[in-house]
C-alpha cells in the first residue's frame, strides 16, 4: 500500500479535475478544521480514500470516497451530501442547496422528510420553521452517485464503502443516534476504467431497467429498502428515471471507549 500522503495527492488532483470549483488543495486537508480525510485498506489490497469538505460551513458537507487498486487505478467511487437531520429540516440554505442540485437530490430530500419527519417537513412544504420547533436528532446522507467497476463486483467493495462512510458520518456521535441514507437506483454512468465509454450516454427504459433491478437487489443485500415513488403524471417519453430509490435507516448506540 502506498503512503496516505501519496493517496491524498493523487486523489486531490483527480478531484480538482472533476470538481474545479471546489477548494481541493492539500493544505486544506492537512490544516483545515472543516476538511477531513481517511485512508483504509481491505483484504484485497484496495485502498479506500474518503474526503469530507464544507459545502455550507457548519451545516452541509460534501463527501467523496475513491477506491484504488494496487496500481493506483480508481475502481469505485461514491459521493453525496451529509448533514444533521436538524440542519436538513430547519435550514433554508441547506434545503436550497440540495433541492437545486438535481431532481434526484431533491427527491432524496423529499423521501427523508416525508418518510421519517412528515410532521416537521416545513421547508419542503414552503412553511416557516416555528421558533419553538423541537430539536431533531440523527444524521443524513444523500447520495449523488455510487459506482463499482463491473468486473470487480461481488468482492464486498460497496459494502466496505458503506461501512467507511457510516463510520465517518457517526464519528462525532455519542449515545443513541440515527443514520439515514438515500440512494437513487438509476444506473450511474462510468467515467473511468474499462466501463467508461466515449459516446454520450442516454437514458432509456429498455436499456436501464435491468440495471435498476440489479441495483435494487444489491441495495437490499446492504441493508437498504427499495422505495418506488408514485408518478403524478406520466411523461410522453418516459425513460423510467427518478422513480426507484432505496433507503437505509438505522438506530445505534454509540459507546465511547478509552484505549489503554
List of long-range contacts for 112-121, beta carbons under 8 Å, 24+ apart: 112/85, 112/88, 112/140, 112/142, 112/180, 112/182, 112/247, 113/88, 113/89, 115/227, 115/247, 116/85, 116/180, 116/249, 117/85, 117/89, 120/89, 121/89
With contact defined as beta carbons under 8 Å apart, do 17 and 63 qualify?
Answer: no
Q: Say what the pLDDT of residue 255 is.
A: 54
| CA-based nearest residue to 88, from 54, 45, 52, 137 | 137
| CA-based nearest residue to 164, from 137, 146, 188 | 146
Domains of the chain: residue spans and CATH:
4-254 (3.40.630)
Mean pLDDT, 10 residues at a time, over the chain (260 residues)?
82 79 68 80 92 91 93 94 96 96 94 94 92 90 95 92 93 77 92 86 85 93 92 59 91 56
Residues 180 and 9: their CA atoms lie apart, in Å, by 31
Q: Say what the pLDDT of residue 252 is.
A: 73
Stated pTM of the model = 0.90
Kindly report the number of other CB atoms within 10 A of residue 111's CB atom.
Answer: 19
Kindly report the number of other CB atoms within 10 A of residue 116's CB atom.
Answer: 18
Q: Say what the pLDDT of residue 231 is.
A: 65
Amino acid at each position: 500500500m502506498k503512503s496516505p500522503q501519496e493517496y491524498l495527492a493523487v486523489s486531490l488532483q483527480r478531484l480538482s479535475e472533476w470538481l474545479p470549483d471546489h477548494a481541493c488543495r492539500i493544505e486544506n486537508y492537512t490544516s483545515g478544521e472543516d476538511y477531513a480525510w481517511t485512508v483504509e485498506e481491505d483484504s484485497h489490497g484496495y485502498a479506500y480514500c474518503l474526503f469530507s469538505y464544507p459545502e455550507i460551513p457548519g451545516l452541509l458537507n460534501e463527501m467523496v470516497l475513491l477506491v484504488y487498486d494496487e496500481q493506483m487505478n480508481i475502481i469505485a467511487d461514491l459521493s453525496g451530501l451529509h448533514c444533521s437531520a436538524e440542519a436538513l429540516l430547519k435550514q433554508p440554505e441547506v434545503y436550497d442547496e440540495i433541492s437545486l442540485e438535481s431532481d434526484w437530490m431533491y427527491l432524496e430530500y423529499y423521501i427523508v422528510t416525508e418518510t421519517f419527519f412528515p410532521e416537521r417537513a416545513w421547508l419542503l412544504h414552503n412553511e416557516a420553521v416555528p421558533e419553538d420547533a423541537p430539536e431533531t436528532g440523527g444524521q443524513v446522507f444523500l447520495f449523488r452517485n455510487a459506482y463499482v467497476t463491473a468486473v470487480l463486483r461481488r468482492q464486498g467493495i460497496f459494502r466496505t464503502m458503506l461501512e467507511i462512510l457510516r463510520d465517518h458520518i457517526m464519528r462525532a456521535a455519542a449515545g443513541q443516534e440515527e443514520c439515514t441514507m438515500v440512494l437513487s437506483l438509476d444506473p450511474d454512468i462510468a467515467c473511468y476504467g474499462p466501463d467508461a465509454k466515449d459516446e454520450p450516454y442516454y437514458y432509456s427504459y429498455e436499456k436501464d431497467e435491468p440495471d435498476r433491478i440489479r441495483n435494487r437487489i444489491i441495495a437490499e443485500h446492504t441493508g437498504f429498502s427499495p422505495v418506488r415513488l408514485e408518478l403524478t403524471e406520466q411523461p410522453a417519453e418516459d425513460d423510467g428515471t427518478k422513480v426507484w430509490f432505496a433507503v437505509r435507516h438505522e438506530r445505534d448506540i454509540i459507546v465511547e471507549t478509552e484505549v489503554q
